[in-house]
Amino acid sequence: MSVSRPHIEPGRLFIDGEWREADAKGRRDILDPSTGKVITTVAEADAIDVDAAVTAARKAFDTGPWASTPGRERARVLHRVADLIRQRADEIVAVESVNVGKPVSLCRAVDVATAAEEYEYYSAMAQSVDGSSRRLPFPAHAYTTRDPLGVIGAITPFNFPLVLSSSKIAPALAAGNTVVHKPAEETPLSALLMAEILAEAGVPDGVVNVVTGGGAVVGEALLRHPGVDKIAFTGSTRIGRHAASLAGEALKPVTMELGGNAAQIVFEDADVEKAIGSAIKGFVFNTGQFCMGGPRLLVHSSLYETVLGILAEAVAGVPVGDPFDPATVVGPMAGARHLAKVEEYVRIARAEGGRVVVGGERLELNGGNYYRPTVIADLSNDSRAVQEEIFGPVLTVQPFDTEDEAVALANSTPYGLASGLQTRDLARAHRVAARLQAGIVWVNDWAMLDPAMPFGGVKQSGYGREYGPEALESYTKVKSVIISLA
């Protein structure tokens, strides 16, 4: 089904179940990355608006019905959210695609489908937020309860606005919390649409509030606000470090989902065709703006030139273009600053001796932020283009000779979000998976994700987990109750 570019009314803040202008009446232009033109404007909030949103969320938590609503009823509401996401899929696809530059076909199949699954998964979980009973060595009846934390400050990045806000809001609501969501400044439109959908599904006023605006103002105000009980942050390692220190100052628990720079290892016994399919998926998906992308390909030296040859041809054939063309696989970068960063890294890679095998330049199209998918060979492991997070459609390829060398190269960056390998040897699959320093390891495919499987980082990729029962637990606190039987 085709989706066309939507007309989007100017956005306002969603606080206590109402649409409001920002206190200072500020507004921000929101751009279409495929043309550079203004799509609409949204309210630019400040600390006063954050305070209003936190006050509403606080009131909804302390005196409202959500936390005390039985889990089964919260489950019904979350299930309705999933149903509404599916019913309104065309509208959501149009909004997310025009704002982020996501190809409509992928946005429907991945972003919208995943968001619905996230609400569905945590709808089921909402019915089992339980404590347990314990036997003690003295006469007592002892049990634990698992209770919601309170007000959650959710801060999300520009690249997966819908998926990464749902991955926080769904478990937070399942556990009975209330939320203030601050989306990324350049891609806030699906968050505003979701505020409407959540209300339509029956989420009470004040339980989810959306405050749009800049990180340094709105994000920091949330981090510092004494009424916020936990921060769920996804974004870059640089900002995450600062956010964690502010939250630490206030002793707020945080989950930190930060940057990544994963390696995909292709062993000599791999299915080469499959490995190349995974490699391409790993670096062009979402135009490379994917924290769990695999921008470093490590190839056994016996396959190195063969893989480069096949990659060059296959990558040159990946359809890049207008996100609203259903055949497009790679859209524009979400913002001009992200495009400029990719250009700079490719310049650095060339200066560091990299051989550009395919791509290596912008694609001039309608004034959009397009960059051709790019493969760079022959860089040394200490080059910046290998070690740093480029966050664009760029793959570096390095050879290796032994399993130990492959593992050492894979683990050699400061990041540890995802990692993966291609092999037909089952023992090697388990052996190497155990040695890779990453929160998630994929074998013989890339980016297999599901709300049931936790993801998150080690090292500079952060701490805490999203998805699975682990995420739900992170939105709860445990209380021990011990009743004397003496």
| Residue 168 bears catalytic tag | yes
Q: Where does this chain touch ligand NAD (CB under 6 A) — which range of 33-41, 275-283, 456-464, 469-477?
A: 456-464
Could you say which residues in the range 151-180 bind ligand NAD, by CB under 6 A?
155-160, 164
Answer yes or no whether residue 260 interacts with ligand NAD by CB under 6 A.
Answer: yes
Nearest-approach distance from CB 34 to ligand NAD, in angstroms: 19
Among 74, 80, 182, 300, binds ligand NAD (CB under 6 A): 182
Of the residues 96, 117, 118, 257, only one is catalytic, namely 257
How many residues bind ligand NAD (CB under 6 A)? The answer is: 32
The residue (of 227 and 457) whose beta carbon lies closer to ligand NAD is: 457
Site string for ligand NAD, 229-258 (x = CB under 6 A): -----xxx--x--xx-------------xx
Of the residues 44, 117, 291, 389, only one is catalytic, namely 291
Q: Where does this chain touch ligand NAD (CB under 6 A) — which range of 87-95, 219-227, 380-388, 419-427?
A: 219-227
H/E run at residue 268: none
**362-to-104, 209, 312, 350, 385 alpha-carbon distances in Å:** 21, 38, 17, 15, 17
- CA angle 73-78-82, nearest 5°? 145
| Residue 291 bears catalytic tag | yes
Phi, psi of 240 (to 5 degrees): -60, -40
The residue (of 96 and 185) whose beta carbon lies closer to ligand NAD is: 185
Of the residues 102, 168, 182, 252, only one is catalytic, namely 168
Q: Helix or strand or coil: residue 360? A: coil
Q: Confirm if 45 and 212 have CB atoms less than 8 A apart.
A: yes
H/E run at residue 169: helix 161-174
The residue (of 123 and 159) whose beta carbon lies closer to ligand NAD is: 159
Looking at residue 110, what DSSP letter applies?
I
Among 14, 122, 391, 446, binds ligand NAD (CB under 6 A): 391
CA 61 to chain centre: 26
Q: Where are the alpha helices (DSSP H) in 237-367?
A: 237-249, 272-284, 304-316, 336-351
> Judging by beta carbons within 10 Å of its beta carbon (0-12, 13-18, 19+), is residue 362 exposed, middle or buried?
middle
| Residue 102 bears catalytic tag | no
Q: Confirm if 74 and 124 have CB atoms less than 8 A apart.
A: no
Among 457, 460, 471, 475, binds ligand NAD (CB under 6 A): 457
CA 372 to chain centre: 23
- The residues binding ligand NAD (CB under 6 A) are 155-160, 164, 182, 184-185, 215-216, 219-220, 223, 234-236, 239, 242-243, 257-260, 291, 389, 391, 417, 457, 461-462
Catalytic residues: 168, 257, 291, 466
